[in-house]
Amino acid sequence: MLCENFSLTHICTPCQKTFLQPHLYKRILPSGIIVYSFYKYSEIKELLFTKHTDIGFHIYTILAKLSFSKFADEFHSKEIKRLVSIAIDDKPKNSYSHTAILNKALKTYNIEPLYAKLYATNDISYSGKSRVYRLENPRNFHLKRFKEKEIILVDDIITTGTTLTQAINICHKAGKEVLFCLTLSDVNIK
């Protein structure tokens, strides 16, 4: 897909090792919650656009393996024995959920992904919309019950931080502690 050479996978191994090696970027939201991202948006923009197509399942699986799985393997918390991760709005669209793919990649001995726990009741799309538009049209998240208190929030892209901020607020209202957020890419990283 990147080099257009023959490969049995959608992105060949040399391209995965050369062009898609993740880096850990950090952004702090106004709430003080840290958002870690693995790619600059500009580096993988075309790959991210595949989330609305059938091939997106395969592309997101590769990106999740290279970044989220690697992070989870290296993440160790001695203070907290078991964490859960929750993807933002992981309802399947086009037969799969791109955020659920990212969330699944976090499964390790101390991170347990939970599914269908946080979803938007307002199905509005923020893609390409301004910060003002996002603030005027909240996603109105609903959080289903679960017992764990400390959570990791998962999304694919952070642009203005509005979606994550809204999700964090609903989690806090439910008595949950968002330790940090993970996104595949950050639009603000240049």
Is residue 42 in some structural domain? yes
User: Between 99 and 8, whose confidence is greater?
Assistant: 99
pTM of the model: 0.90
Is residue 133 in some structural domain? yes
Is residue 35 in some structural domain? yes
**Inter-residue contact 11 to 59 (CB < 8 Å):** yes
**Structural domain of residue 38, as residue ranges?**
13-186
Is residue 7 in some structural domain? no
**Inter-residue contact 148 to 118 (CB < 8 Å):** no
Sequence-distant (≥ 6) Cβ neighbours of residue 79 within 8 angstroms = none
pLDDT range class, residue 53, cuts 50, 70, 90: confident
Give, rounded to a whole angstrom, the gap between the first and last alpha carbons of the chain.
23
What pLDDT, on the 0 to 100 scale, is given for residue 179?
95
CATH classification at residue 50: 3.40.50
Query: In total, how many domains does the chain have?
Result: 1
Query: Is the pLDDT assigned to residue 77 strictly greater than 70?
Result: no
Distance CA 94, CA 170 (A): 27
Q: Is 186 exposed, middle or buried, given 0-12, 13-18 or 19+ CB atoms closer than 10 A?
A: buried
Is residue 61 in some structural domain? yes
Is residue 17 in some structural domain? yes
Is residue 40 in some structural domain? yes
Q: Name the 3-class secondary structure at 132.
A: helix
Is residue 73 in some structural domain? yes
